[in-house]
Amino acid sequence: MPQVSLRLSLPDPSHKEIAWMLDLQFWLFGCDIKHPQGNLLIELGFERIRPPEGISGSTQYQARIADGVLKLWGFGFWYKTINDSQGVFLRRHEFDPRLCTLSKPIWRVEDLPPAQFPATVAQIAYTWECLSRVFDWFADYEKEILQRCGENYRRNCLIQWTKPRVDQPQELLETWRKCARECALSLSTLRSVVS
């Protein structure tokens, strides 16, 4: 049987692209929250959970998506499938997925419970599956924003982004689909090697 590396890995350029895309996507979520017609995340079914009075931190947005639960903060996201208690946490500025269980709302990255790097075949497979679902959802979200608000709205958001940027809204959607496919391919490869 071939030797299998129990590592969660993508080529280095993919890590950088995903980290950059996450930063941009979270900035775009911020634009959508401040949309002139109202908070688009809430319009699309997210529940807003603000920190309790006297506690500083990031508002949590939560929704059921892709047979799971997605939680968004300004600092990253956490996603778990419906049948699992443990989920995948990914910070906004880096590709370094971690597994943890969230039993209560958190407001700062420091509030995360102890998280572990996926180490077993099952944990790595679960992580790839979760990331593929979330990245696909990001693409679906961008498609929905384009349909609801038009390309000019999203293009104006992208123009305001001061870091290296995507020029066309459609490019953002396509890049998320590509990232989702890379995760799904990694999952498929892992399953074929260990079966």
- Cβ atoms within 10 A of the Cβ of 195, count? 5
Tokens standing for 30?
A: 């911020």
* pLDDT above 90 as % of the chain: 70
CA 191 to CA 195: how far, in whole Å?
A: 6
pLDDT at 146: 96
147-163 mean pLDDT: 93
**What pTM was estimated for this model as a whole?**
0.91
Per-residue pLDDT band at 139 (split at 50, 70, 90) = very high
Q: Is residue 5 part of a domain?
A: no
Q: How many structural domains comprise the chain? A: 1
Per-residue pLDDT band at 5 (split at 50, 70, 90) = very low
Q: Is residue 4 part of a domain?
A: no
Q: Is residue 113 part of a domain?
A: yes
Q: Is residue 90 part of a domain?
A: yes
Q: Is residue 97 part of a domain?
A: yes
Tokens standing for 79?
A: 């996603």
* pLDDT above 70 as % of the chain: 93
CA 130 to CA 128: how far, in whole Å?
A: 6
Which residue would you say has higher pLDDT here, 2 or 159?
Answer: 159
- Cβ atoms within 10 A of the Cβ of 38, count? 11
Q: Is residue 125 part of a domain?
A: yes
Residue-wise pLDDT for 142-153, tens only, equals 999 999 999 999
Q: Is residue 108 part of a domain?
A: yes
- Domain span including residue 169: 12-189
Spatial contact of 22 and 90, defined as CB atoms under 8 Å apart: yes
Q: Is residue 3 part of a domain?
A: no
- Kindly report the average pLDDT of the chain as a whole number: 89
Q: Which helix (H) or strand (E) holds 126?
A: helix 121-149
Residue-wise pLDDT for 110-128, tens only, equals 999 999 999 888 999 999 9
Nearest to 133 by CA among 70, 48, 75: 70
Beta-strand relationship, 86-91 and 98-101: antiparallel
Instruction: Look at 109-113, 148-152, 155-159, 186-190 and tell me which has the smallest mean pLDDT.
Output: 186-190
pLDDT at 166: 79
Phi, psi of 119 (to 5 degrees): -120, -35
pLDDT at 6: 41
Q: Is the dihedral of CA 25, 30, 35, 40 positive or negative?
A: positive
